[in-house]
Amino acid sequence: MSKKRQITIVDLAEAAGVSIATVSNVLNRRNVPMSAETIRKVEAAAELLGYRRNVMAASLSSKKSYELGMLVPSFGGYYGRFAEEMQRTAHQYGYHLSVFSAAGFDPEIEKRHLDVLLQRRVDGLFCHGLAMSQEATRQIVSDGTPLVLFNAWGWPSDIAAGAVNLDFLEGCDTIVRHLYEQGSRKMVYLAKAKSLGTDRQRRIGFRNGLERLPEAIPSAIVEMDDGLTMDEAVEQVLAFSDGVRPIGVMGFDDNVALAFMFAVLRHGYKVPQDVQIVGVNNDPFTSVCYPSMTTMNIPYDKQARLAIRLMLEQLGEIETMVRIDGNSDQVEITDAHEIRVPMQLVPRMSTQSV
């Protein structure tokens, strides 16, 4: 009985309809941008032909695991959507990305995440500013593992290689200007202080926007973390408006803005005639609720590309990153540690009469 011939990358290249070099790039996870379709064809051919690569041996020889870790506060809303985009982008560069949820800062879960990440010898770590304590994160990167932060402010510069942050300062400034242009002469921010740095960025952007208006207008911040119900929040906002219509309201995010808008409607007020409302994140429901909600769109793909490329720069796989992405979209570099990713206003019915 003859011995079964071993499948080679030549066979895979022929089966996948790509070059041998492309097969080698996929199998060795080289940092060469490849389309998801190309990677899929090579992986499908490998599975069909029964090709097996000794990943452990390859990792030992290259001293890389081609594993990346990512920590997020939860899997809901922005965090889940951004994690999906990060996984797709990492895959295109030949890396596997494992995503972990902080699950409400449970110390036992945090310890378990630390153990798993250390066992896997991840080549690099991505972390949201609210996902893990600075002390715990420092344990992971103490052996030289590069850390790239996203939506993190105020972290010590010696922990992370840099941060890729959504530009909430400019985004909230834009919201204030939009509300003013739509006729709002009093404004309120529905704040979530427990969100720490993320909330602070919104507060600063809100205040900056007010200072840049052509006239001084009254403003207020309603603290939504103080056990306040949405009905009570509406009462506070309408009392503050003192008959001035419309009053402009910026919610911490789309969920807060939507709940507030529904409470406003329950109280018999009109949107946008009496109250103009803007959220942040451009969650899918904002375009299908009624009235549809004005919000700030998050460029998930762009933030993911910049975060992955910053990591690859730290791993020595690409040259120092040019701060203009492949589509020539400008990004603002505030210092050596922060890249600000611009957001875009999406005007809808909650601020514009039709």
- Whole-number pLDDT of residue 32: 65
Residue 141 pLDDT grade (very low, low, confident, very high; cuts 50, 70, 90): confident
Backbone angles phi, psi at 77, to 5 degrees: 55, -130
- Look at residue 60 in the predicted model and tell me its pLDDT: 42
CATH class of 63-165+299-341: alpha beta
Task: Choose the weakest-confidence range: 39-53, 69-83, 108-122.
Answer: 108-122
Mean pLDDT, rounded, for 257-271: 97
Phi then psi dihedrals of residue 222, to 5 deg: -100, 120
Which of the given ranges, 12-26, 70-84, 101-115, 290-304, has the highest pLDDT on average? 290-304
Q: What does the pLDDT read at residue 194?
A: 87
Residues 132-161, mean pLDDT to the nearest whole number? 82
- 222 compared with 129, residue with greater pLDDT: 222
Residue-level pLDDT at 193: 92
pLDDT at position 327 over 60: no
- Binned at pLDDT 50, 70 and 90, residue 61 comes out as very low
User: In which order are the strands placed within the sheet that holds 338-341?
Assistant: 96-101, 67-72, 124-128, 147-150, 162-166, 338-341, 332-335
What is the Cα gyration radius of the chain? 24
In single-letter form, the type of residue at position 91 comes to: H
pLDDT at 12 over 90: no
Work out the average pLDDT over 272-295: 97
What percent of the chain is predicted at pLDDT more than 70?
A: 85
- Residue 119 pairs in a beta bridge with none
pLDDT in tens, 103-118: 666 667 777 777 777 6
- Classify domain 168-298 at the CATH class level: alpha beta
Q: Which range, of 80-94, 113-127, 216-230, averages the lowest pLDDT?
A: 113-127
Collapsing DSSP to helix, strand or coil, 329 comes out as coil
- What letter does residue 133 receive in the DSSP assignment? -
Q: Write down the domain spans for the chain.
A: 9-53, 63-165+299-341, 168-298
Strands (E), the chain: 67-72, 96-101, 124-128, 147-150, 162-166, 187-191, 219-223, 247-251, 275-278, 295-297, 332-335, 338-341, 344-346
Please indicate whether residue 1 or residue 96 has the higher confidence score (pLDDT). 96
* Mean pLDDT, residues 138-158 taken together: 83
Please tell me if the domain spanning 63-165+299-341 has the same topology as the one spanning 168-298.
Answer: yes
Lowest mean pLDDT among 8-22, 155-169, 284-298: 8-22
CA distances from 197 to 150, 167, 204, 336 (A): 12, 12, 10, 19
Q: Which residues pair with 99 in a beta bridge?
A: 70
* pLDDT of res. 336: 57
Q: List, in sequence order, every beta strand (DSSP E) within 211-269.
A: 219-223, 247-251
Q: How confident is the model at residue 58 (pLDDT cuts 50, 70, 90)?
A: very low
d(CA 245, CA 47): 64
Q: Report pTM.
A: 0.77
DSSP state of 6: P
- Burial string for 231-267 (b: 16+ CB within 10 Å, else e) reads eebbebbbebbeeebbbbbbbbbbbbbbbbbebbbee
